[in-house]
Amino acid sequence: MSKVRASTSQRHGTATIAVAERTSAADTKGSINLRIEAATRQLIDDAAAVLGKTRTEFMIESARRQAIDVLLDQRLFMLDSDRYDAFMHALDNPPAPGPKLQSLLRRVPAWQN
């Protein structure tokens, strides 16, 4: 949930400027409780120690990095101009449906039976 705090200031006695500061749930800290096997916990602790981090720092950084990678894999395509052109051509000119796809499209969905 977001909260908005508004403040106003006067400039040279004539103009009033409103500034909204938005605080969100991301600004507050929460906790995540995990149940993991002892061997996995020890592995995480060993890796964190090698980097000079606490278990929490290590786990947050690792999970955050993985989450970003997963989301970027779904949204970001890095292509040079030739590959971009080929990609756009493939999107604009999909292959004709083959016999298996045509058969699938003619089938009555299970939820309509």
For residue 6, the one-letter residue type is: A
Q: Identify the pLDDT of residue 3.
A: 47
CA angle 15, 24, 56 (to 5 degrees): 140
Per-run averaged pLDDT (10 residues), the chain, 113 residues: 44 46 68 94 97 97 95 84 94 93 91 87
Nearest by Cα to 56 from 35, 32, 80: 32
What per-residue confidence (pLDDT) applies to 81?
A: 94
**Residue 9 near residue 17, CB atoms below 8 Å:** yes
Q: What pLDDT does 6 receive?
A: 42
Gap between the Cα atoms of 106 and 86, Å rounded: 31
